[in-house]
Amino acid sequence: MKAIVINRHGGPEVLEPADLPPPRPQPGEVLVRVAAAAVNPADGKWRAGMFESFAPVGFPHILGYDVAGEVVGGEGFAPGERVFGMLDPFRKGGYAEMVAVAADHLAGVPDGLDLPTAAAIPTAGLTGLQMVERGLDLQAGQRLLLTGAMGAVGRFALFAAKERGVDVIAAVRAAHRDAVRALGADQVIALGDEDWNGAPFDHVIDTVGGAAVGALCRHLRRGGRLLTAATTPIPGDGLPAVPEFFAVIPSGPDAARLAAAVAAGKVAVPIARILPLDQAAEAQRLVEAGGLNGKVILTN
């Protein structure tokens, strides 16, 4: 099968095409013919070797967490069924024609949802949903500071928080003020440009990291929690809470709920670019440059 692999760590130029034997599904796994794979910010970090000290990869290595496609065989789904899901982040394998996936990481794609859109959902959607539900178990009426709320993770966190009746204060780039209000944010802070002078936040969900987030987190109430998904550290000196790193886990049932919400128009995941798989290097450059306001999808 065709795949895009890395044989060493480095810049986007280390992504190269390869012809590899298709994966053989193990018990409990499904073989999926990949139609679309999302490019996540983490892909470039794995490519660069950022996680090598605690999660070394063997070469050749196929990047890519999120796929949507058709079932070829295996357990739990019928051949031809349209499925999508987040792959095991330590194994990955999305930038390829075929991938073997644990059946319980997958969900069916609802009618009316195209496969590129389905591929855009899993990692970002699961992270946002799980930070709200599993990470903080937010309750109606709580005041949440959500940073990067216009990003892929942030949009889903905003959706999940509003579903629970949480009062969301979104910290976004100044240009995104109106857009994030239209998505349901109750109040908006221009991150890096404005401070907060309202009542203290009950909790924080951060998807950005860095000093500007740290400055806002001084307004977290004592006993509140600061959950971050970002790899850019938040300077912790003098903060009311120690930042806790949150790591997403693949989940077919959570993915199914997200896809149903997207299909029903309750939350949207915009797609900025769709490129063929062999343009994976360009796709990662685009994601690393930022400012896209949407997902980049690779198609076979």
Ligand X SMILES: NC(=O)c1ccc[n+]([C@@H]2O[C@H](COP(=O)([O-])OP(=O)(O)OC[C@H]3O[C@@H](n4cnc5c(N)ncnc54)[C@H](OP(=O)(O)O)[C@@H]3O)[C@@H](O)[C@H]2O)c1
Measured from the CB atom, the residue of 173 and 203 that comes closer to ligand X is: 173
- Considering the complex, what minimum distance in angstroms separates the CB of residue 21 from ligand X? 30
Measured from the CB atom, the residue of 71 and 255 that comes closer to ligand X is: 255
- Residue nearest ligand X (C-beta atom): 151
- Considering the complex, what minimum distance in angstroms separates the CB of residue 208 from ligand X? 5
Measured from the CB atom, the residue of 147 and 279 that comes closer to ligand X is: 147
- Considering the complex, what minimum distance in angstroms separates the CB of residue 260 from ligand X? 21
Measured from the CB atom, the residue of 78 and 247 that comes closer to ligand X is: 247
Q: Which residues contact 251 (CB under 8 A, 6 or more apart)?
A: 86, 104, 105, 126, 130
Measured from the CB atom, the residue of 211 and 264 that comes closer to ligand X is: 211
Measured from the CB atom, the residue of 152 and 188 that comes closer to ligand X is: 152
- Considering the complex, what minimum distance in angstroms separates the CB of residue 213 from ligand X? 8
- Considering the complex, what minimum distance in angstroms separates the CB of residue 184 from ligand X? 15
Please state, in angstroms and as integers, the Cα–Cα distance from residue 117 to each residue in 61, 66, 85, 201, 251, following that order. Answer: 25, 11, 12, 33, 18
Q: 272, 258, 283, 229: which is closest to 95 by C-alpha?
A: 283
Residues forming the site for ligand X (CB under 6 A): 40-42, 123-124, 127, 148, 150-154, 172-173, 191-192, 207-208, 212, 229-231, 246-248, 290-291
Amino acid letter for position 190: A
Rounded CA Rg of the chain: 19
Give the helix, strand, coil percentages of the chain, each rounded to 5. 30, 30, 40
Measured from the CB atom, the residue of 74 and 94 that comes closer to ligand X is: 94
- Considering the complex, what minimum distance in angstroms separates the CB of residue 202 from ligand X? 21
How many C-beta atoms surround the C-beta of residue 173 within 10 A? 18
Residues 14, 49 contacting (CB under 8 angstroms)? no
Q: How would you classify the pairing of strands 201-206 and 220-228?
A: parallel
SS3 121: coil
Tracing tokens 């990470």 back to the chain, one arrives at 135
Q: Which residues contact 73 (CB under 8 A, 6 or more apart)?
A: 25, 30, 31, 79
